[in-house]
Amino acid sequence: MNRQRYGSLASTAAASRLWGLLLGAALVLAGCAAPKQPARQAPIIDRSPAPAPTSAGAAAPSSPVIAPPGSENAGKPGYYTVRPGDTLYRIGLEHGQSWRDIAAWNGLTNPHLIEVGQVLRVVPPGATPAATTAAVTTQPVTGASVQARPLDAAQAPATTPGAAAGPRPSAASAPATPADQPAATAATTAANGDAITLVWPARGPLLYNFDETRSKGVGIGGRAGDPVLAAADGRVVYAGSDLRGYGNLIILKHNNTYLTAYAHNQTLLVREDQTVRQGQKIAEMGSSDADRVKLHFEVRRQGKPIDPLSLLPSR
């Protein structure tokens, strides 16, 4: 009797353990199948200082705006406001001044460091801007004033056709220009007393005419290495390649009114601040920053381009 009872209890205990194991396994499986809850992110706390309170309708204070140098002179005669793309060299060309002079008038130590909106003096200190914009008239020279004659045999240089003539020995002597080229047949007189007499800067054919909005000068053809001559006495105010579109460029200042520019050269034979004579070889023709060998020649009157053919002698 006791043995039967003990066997029954043992069976009951084994069954209980079995059910316990099954229940535990079921719970484990249920836990694996349940979807995972997303991890909770830490809250984002803004620790920046709160803005200062302002009165109703008042705007919050902003950082002070620093005006470009010279802005107090904006719009005044004799001053220029720098625009995008400007360089000191181009500003000098456009206003008929040496870039070195403009740098000195404005206390610039580096010509490459100018900023948009900066206002620059482009006339000499103390000069009256009205005087720099006086009207200029063009008139032909009478036959008695200028005579075209060939050089004497002793004076003529032994050069091949197309070679440059040498510089004039003195201001009183005739320009050392080729025998078949007249010394000059045209001149201009400015209201402020400045005058200029030009000769052709190269011998080649005319490639294109003056256009105030496009070419701003004339094109003269030739071969690489052909001489480029100074069209008049003057001082070299620029010799380099910093002006985009002009290649190796020389700019001569002849007086307070006139500049001449010689672009696309192969070789430059003069330096800045050098004095040159009319007919002197200053460069060799080339194709720098151009699609062909040529000389691009400009005449600037108080910085404004004018037609060189109105001043050059007829061929």
- pLDDT, tens only, 37-88: 544 444 444 445 555 555 555 666 666 778 888 889 898 999 999 999 999 9
Whether residue 304 contacts residue 224, with contact meaning beta carbons closer than 8 Å, is answered with no
Which domains does the chain possess? 71-132 (3.10.350.10), 136-144+161-310 (2.70.70.10)
Q: What is the mean pLDDT of residues 169-181?
A: 38
- Residues 19-32: tens digit of each pLDDT: 666 666 665 555 55
Q: Is the pLDDT of residue 313 over 70?
A: yes
